């Protein structure tokens, strides 16, 4: 499931040179004073944007809490910010994810769920695969009764170029286990999602 890192990674200098080529291609002079440090800044930004390749999402979920005999209700983490990049145009996908599961024996710290979202977002992605990877990982590691992931995002390849449709968002979902099989459970999840946000009441 984890996308593998290409075996022969170019050097930082080679990556910076590639940025100079793209600057020239856009019509710029990479030697212009304002652009001299740009290649190194871009490459450092890539370290952040794509740090997901260095993270094993399954390991993030490895530590679980098992004392959940009394808890048999949906756990929902909603409005997790998504910052990803479209693999077709290498431009940002910005949105939010809602992640839910119905624990069987194990629960996991909620920050871990958000970090699984980050680990897959900070790669080149298409939204459909991102949604499925998050759901499949949680489902296979925690083995809950069910897992649901819903992502709503804007794609800059659609808003700032091509058809230029700002304000359009794409919604994808992956429902596994009881969320797929049991319409009552799915309805309960959707009603939890439709409740008004608490805003900063609890922050
Ligand atoms: Zn795209």
Q: Which pLDDT does position 202 carry in this prediction? A: 60
Of 17 and 68, the one with more pLDDT? 17
pLDDT band at 63 (very low <50, low <70, confident <90, very high): confident
Q: Considering 17, 83, 152, 157, which one is annotated as catalytic?
A: 157
Binding residues for Zn(2+) are 86, 89, 157
pLDDT tops 90 at residue 87: yes
Instruction: Give the chain's domains with CATH numbers.
Output: 12-49 (1.10.286.10), 57-194 (3.30.1130.10)
Whole-number pLDDT of residue 158: 87
How far lies 142's CA from each of 5, 41, 108, 138, 178, in Å? 25, 39, 8, 6, 14
User: pTM score, two decimals?
Assistant: 0.90
d(CA 11, CA 17): 10
Using alpha carbons, select from 191, 187, 97, 185 the residue that is nearest to residue 144: 185
127 is catalytic: yes
Q: Is 164 annotated in the active site?
A: no
Whether 30 and 39 have beta carbons less than 8 Å apart is answered as yes
Rounded to an integer, the average pLDDT of 59-78 is: 83
Contacts of residues 162-171 at CB distance under 8 Å and 24 or more positions apart, as own/partner, are: 169/95, 170/127
Q: Is the pLDDT of residue 170 over 70?
A: yes
């Amino acid at each position: 499931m984890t996308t593998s890192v290409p075996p022969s990674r170019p050097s930082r200098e080679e990556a910076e040179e590639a940025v100079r080529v793209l600057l020239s291609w856009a019509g710029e002079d990479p030697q212009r004073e304002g652009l001299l440090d740009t290649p190194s800044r871009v490459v450092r930004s890539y370290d952040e944007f794509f740090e997901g390749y260095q993270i094993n999402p399954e390991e993030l979920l490895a530590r679980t809490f098992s004392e959940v005999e009394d808890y048999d209700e949906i756990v929902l983490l909603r409005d997790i910010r998504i910052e990803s990049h479209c693999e077709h145009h290498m431009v940002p996908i910005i949105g939010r994810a809602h992640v839910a599961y119905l624990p069987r024996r194990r629960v996991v710290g909620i920050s871990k769920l958000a970090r699984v979202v980050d680990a897959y977002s900070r790669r080149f992605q298409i939204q459909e695969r991102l949604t499925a990877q998050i759901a499949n990982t949680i489902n296979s590691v925690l083995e809950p009764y069910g897992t649901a992931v819903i992502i709503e995002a804007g794609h800059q390849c659609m808003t700032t170029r091509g058809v230029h449709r700002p304000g359009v968002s794409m919604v994808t979902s992956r429902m596994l286990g009881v969320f797929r099989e049991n319409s009552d459970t799915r309805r309960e999840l959707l009603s939890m999602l439709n409740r008004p946000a608490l805003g900063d009441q609890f922050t």
